[in-house]
Amino acid sequence: MLTATLGAVLTFGAPGALAGTLPAAPAAKAPTAAASPASRSAASTSAAWVAGTRAYLVITAPGDSSAVRSAIAANGGTVFSAYDAIGVIVAHSASSGFATTLRSVPGVQQVGATRTSDVPADAYNPALPADPAQASTPAGESVRADVSQIKADQAWAVNPGSPSVKVGILDTGVDDRHQDLAPNFDAADSVSCAYGKPDTRAGAWRDVDTHGSHVAGTVAAAKNGKGVVGVAPGVKIAAVRVAEPGNSFFFAENTICGFVWAGDHGFKVTNNSYYTDPWQFNCPDNIDQAAIIEGVKRAQEYAKSKGSLQIAAAGNENYDLAHKTTDSASPNDSTPVTRTITNACLDIPTELPGVVTVAANGTGVTKASFSNYGQGVIDVAAPGSNVYSTVPGGGYGSKSGTSMATPHVVGVAALIASAEPGITPAQLRARLAAQANDIACPSDNRCTGTTANNSFFGEGQVDALKAVGTTPPPGAYFENLADFAVNDSATVESPITVTGVSGNAPATLKVGVDIKHTYIGDLKVDLVAPDGTVYTLHNRSGGSADNIAQTYTVNASSEVANGTWRLRVNDNAASDTGKIDAWTLTFRRPVSAPRR
């Protein structure tokens, strides 16, 4: 883990778990959070844990697994977690013959060890990650080079992203209290999947490194006048901590848990800036690695069947993924050995069918020197060098790697999903390819293919402005980020002055509302046009639910666009108060069809 210093370049010297982040000289690990009484019982470990305990994937037919579970118990194992919908059981055993014995059990299709090291005792009674003190940042959020490179700053005027789109950050965790992440953070759908079982305790999702928080900021840091702005600052992010503390390893059972969680919790897109440890490449002719491929593949397919698209980093070894020959980095949880491999061996989840694989650009449209490549493997590219984003404790820093390129693509995918709410994962994958800008091969004989699709850049570099569908008209987007208190039985108004928009407002005026208030059934919310006409957005519905974070469409075509618009909030009962946190107006008109 790395210290997070403002403006410093942050790099990783950890083992290959964070395969999407550029390896560099080793950095000191931050101390692990001390266990509190709430996070750990008096006993330091569970009686179920013994030295030599290993984790296994037991693959069965989807459905009732009770017979196989009984066989696990009868043969020296325990069921740690189970995913019957995909036929995957995570079993623990300290018996050296467990896997061999279980493979002969009726109903068992595959059994494979997920690691070459013992399961930590922490798996049975996990400590909560640290909750770091938060630094404050002066006002000001300049547009970064990587953001302007993909035209995200122009896309915000058309569509900054919808809060109904949830993005899963499958990583080392996320600092949910960071000033730039908190406004868009979804705690209800966040979890730790470390060790392969959902841990839903508050804070279990927090960062055990700095990597996940950095990725999260690139996707959706809030447009709040401070720090940085994410590619899709209007969407929601949820943390799924897949990394284990102390080493930031992403074992197969953790990834499986993360993908199943993503499918069950409605994540439209997930960011996967890692590979599944301990094998950089999993080979189907190895009995353990074959089970890892099958288990993670089933989980990814499950998430996709539930409407979730997985986007993953290509890796940073400057390696041709279309012509694999050797692997010298595996297994990274014990002693790596050099082995001969073929293209049948897969980087998981990056090379699974249906996953979008992301390469990194350097400055402009160059290939980042570290980025992996491969004809037919790379789908799209995005900026990945010296990306400045959020780190735990309210800080900011720069990192390089395909880990940093991937959240740019995830942000663009979230913008597409915001503009096209019913889009399927397959359609979203196709749209990502269609909106990318072609990049021709440089004078480098390793780059093969055409300008439209080659081994360095795939379909090209993503373009957020093209992703949202049009060029924004001047003065199209306006916002008021100031807080206005909503007191009991009182009315408050927040103004926005619109200038530079000719004619009337559109019939599809978008009104983005972010109100923090308990018991929203107390509230009536209106848009007041410059001439005083009132358009009701919310009228005391929602009962005891908290907060209004919604974009409304208003037919304001009879109103002159320029002038002062007001968001009026009326509290109609005692006991619950809140504030107008922010609101926006987006003046959008349909794009004319091209002439033939």
Look at the block and give the residue holding tokens 């069965």: 60
Question: Which is the catalytic residue, given 211, 214, 265, 517?
Answer: 211
Burial of 127 (0-12, 13-18, 19+ CB in 10 A): middle
Question: Is the separation of the CB atoms in 219 and 237 below 8 Å?
Answer: yes
Distance in angstroms (rounded) separating the CA atoms of residues 38 and 469: 49
> Has 92 been annotated as catalytic?
no
Q: Which tokens in the block code for residue 279?
A: 């094998």
Question: Which is the catalytic residue, given 65, 122, 162, 171?
Answer: 171
Burial of 508 (0-12, 13-18, 19+ CB in 10 A): middle
> Has 178 been annotated as catalytic?
no
> Has 488 been annotated as catalytic?
no
Closest alpha carbon to 23 in 401, 324, 362:
401
Burial of 173 (0-12, 13-18, 19+ CB in 10 A): buried
Question: Which is the catalytic residue, given 162, 330, 403, 418?
Answer: 403
Q: How many CA atoms lie within 13 A of 392 on its CB side?
A: 21
Compute how many other C-beta atoms are within 10 angstroms of the C-beta atom of residue 574.
Answer: 9
Closest alpha carbon to 386 in 373, 375, 396:
396
Distance in angstroms (rounded) separating the CA atoms of residues 441 and 197: 44
Question: Is the separation of the CB atoms in 477 and 535 below 8 Å?
Answer: no
Closest alpha carbon to 268 in 356, 344, 351:
356
Length of the chain, please? Answer: 596
Maximum separation of any 2 CA atoms in the chain, in Å:
80
Instruction: Give the CA-trace dihedral at 44, 48, 51, 54, to 10 degrees.
Output: -120
Beta strands in 309-432 (DSSP E): 309-313, 326-330, 337-340, 356-361, 380-383, 387-391, 395-399
Closest alpha carbon to 347 in 250, 211, 422, 442:
250
Q: Is 499 helix (H, G, I), strand (E, B) or coil?
A: coil
31: CB partners within 8 A, 6+ apart = none
Question: Is the separation of the CB atoms in 328 and 403 below 8 Å?
Answer: no
Instruction: For residue 478, list its beta bridge partners.
Output: 585
Q: Which tokens in the block code for residue 501?
A: 């928009």
SS3 per residue for 14-76? CCHHHCCCCECCCCCCCCCCCCCCCCCCCCCCCCCCCCCCEEEEEEECCCCCHHHHHHHHHCC
Closest alpha carbon to 529 in 477, 564, 498:
564
Distance in angstroms (rounded) separating the CA atoms of residues 270 and 219: 10
Q: Which residues are catalytic?
A: 171, 211, 403
